[in-house]
Structures are given as C-alpha cells and as structure tokens.
Amino acid sequence: MSQINQLDGFDQLSVVRAVQWLSRTGVRSPLTVERVKQWVNQFQTPEEKTLAWLILRNLIFRTTEQLKSSMRQAMKQATLHFLDQVGMKDSVTWTDALEETAGLTFLCGPPALPNLGLPTQPGKSGDLMARLVNRQYGIDKHYPSDIKVLQPNERFIVVDDGTYTGVQLGNFLRGWEMDFSHGRVAIAVGMAHKTACGSLKQEFPNVPLFKGELLTAEGCFQALSQKWIESEQWSFQRSPLEVYADVHKRHQPFKNGNGGNGYGNIGALVAFEHGVPDDSIQLLWDESKTWTPLVDR
C-alpha cells in the first residue's frame, strides 16, 4: 500500500512538523531535532518511517520541570492523606504540614535496599526524585534500609519518577523491615500505570500510592497501534506491531535482552528528561551494535 498522503485531515508531513515543533520549542528539551532525525533514520522503509513518526508524535515526554509538577501533585495527595489521619486536613495547608506545623515529621527516600540487592546510585530515578523532593520541600532524605521503625509522629514517603508494573516497588516493600500496618508509609510518583496501582493496592493495602499522572493500557503501544489503524493514520497492509517487530529483530541482540515491548510487556511510550523507563518499548531506550536509542537511560 502506498504511504499516507491525506486521510481525514491526517498527513505524515503534519506529524513530522508537529514532532519537530515540540523539539524546537523546548517542550521536549533536551531532545533535539537532530537526535530525533538520527533515531528516525534507523528506520528504513516508508512504513517503518511512518511508524517512527507516529511513535514520536504519541510519546509522553516529561521535562524535569513537568516532572516536578507531577511530583507536586503526588506529594500533595500523600501529605493530605496523612493530615486526614490526624484530623487536620481542613486546618493545615499541605505545604505548611511539610514544615512540621501539624506535628508530623516527614521523611522521604528512594525505593532502595542496598543490603538486599536493591541499590540506588546517583542519577538513578529514585535518588533523583528524593533529592528533588528534599530540595523543593525541605524534607529530610533517608535510605529506607537505615529506618526500620517510624515514631508515631513520623511519616515516610517513598518517591520515584514512575511505576508501571509495580514489581520493583513490590520487591522493595517486601524487603523493607517495616511494619506497614501503622499506616505511616506512602508512595509518591510522577506517573503510575494502572497495572502497578492495582498490584500494589492488592498486596500492600496499608501503603497508599499517589501519582501525578495515571497511565493506562490505552496510552501504550499495542492499543495505540490499533487506534492508528482504525483512524486511518496507518495505511499499510502490515500492522504497526508487525513492522515494529521486524525493525526490532533486525537490530538484535540488544544490550539488555530482546524484549521489544519493554519490561513486563507494558509497551509504554514514556520518556523523561533524565532517561527512559525500561517499561517503554525497547527501541526508545536500549542499544545494540546497529541501534542508537532515542534517549539514553
């Protein structure tokens, strides 16, 4: 089938221009037009290049400033939850509460337990978020492995940029020697997939998860691929998923295995200024001898 020219107001040129505009205006800074073109040029045929531009157009990209805004929403929800516990939700603002005006002492930290093989390193997402929250709200940062008991007035908020399957956070919570029944621990993330929300709520009902943004299956690669076909944004005989599989196979082996749809088969189209979660499709973040990712992890 021929490449898209004009279908119900959609044309490939408009997609290309939209993606380039997002880069040039700084909406996806520091993702430059040059980096975008370098990534697209690895796709060969017309159908492959169409796929590349559609992925880029639907990519959820968050700069550090945008992530701060999402984290603010998550932190607000977590703080109000704890204020509600002590009956002060309507009498103290959440920002004042973080300064201990409500009699609560707030702590934060990444989902890391070095003693159990769940380390954190400078530059990793959890550590980045813990430093961000520490600087923005003045909350003391601690590694959970250093805290096994929380006093009645203490509240610990585990922070990260996102959670998609919930597996990493689940492993962390299972390994943390903490009694969660007191309700003194919460999780705050910039983005959470519905899968992670359900999984963590079921296993850890006393550790609420608060997020700035909710990601659903409808916003991930498999569902979007079907949507592109139904809306006639895709006019090729083979489906976007089949074309993607061919590109992915051609550039194997990848440095971190060959799971094309990303960790947990989530197929997210998510990237942050500081990197890409491995729950996103692999061509966005992994590398091989013949493949350069869009954003470095």
pTM across the whole model:
0.90
pLDDT in tens, the chain (297 residues): 323 333 333 567 877 887 777 777 767 777 888 889 999 999 999 999 999 999 999 999 999 999 999 999 999 999 999 999 999 999 999 999 999 989 999 999 999 987 655 555 545 899 999 999 999 999 999 999 899 999 999 999 999 999 999 999 999 999 999 999 999 999 999 999 999 999 999 999 999 999 999 999 999 999 999 999 999 999 999 999 999 999 999 999 999 999 999 999 999 999 999 999 999 999 999 999 999 999 887
Tell me, letter by letter, the H, E, C secondary structure of the chain: CCCCCCECCECHHHHHHHHHHHHHCCCCCCCCHHHHHHHHCCCCCHHHHHHHHHHHHHCEEECHHHHHHHHHHHHHHHHHHHHHHCCCCCCCCHHHHCCCCCCCEEEEECCCEHHHCECCCCCCHHHHHHHHHHHHHCCEECCHHHCCCCCCCEEEEEEEEEECCCHHHHHHHHHCCCCHHHCCEEEEEEEEEHHHHHHHHHHCCCCCEEEEEEECHHHCHHHHHHHHHHCCCCCCCCCHHHHHHHHHHHCCCCCCCCCCCCHHHCCECEEECCECCCCECHHHHCCECCECCCCCC
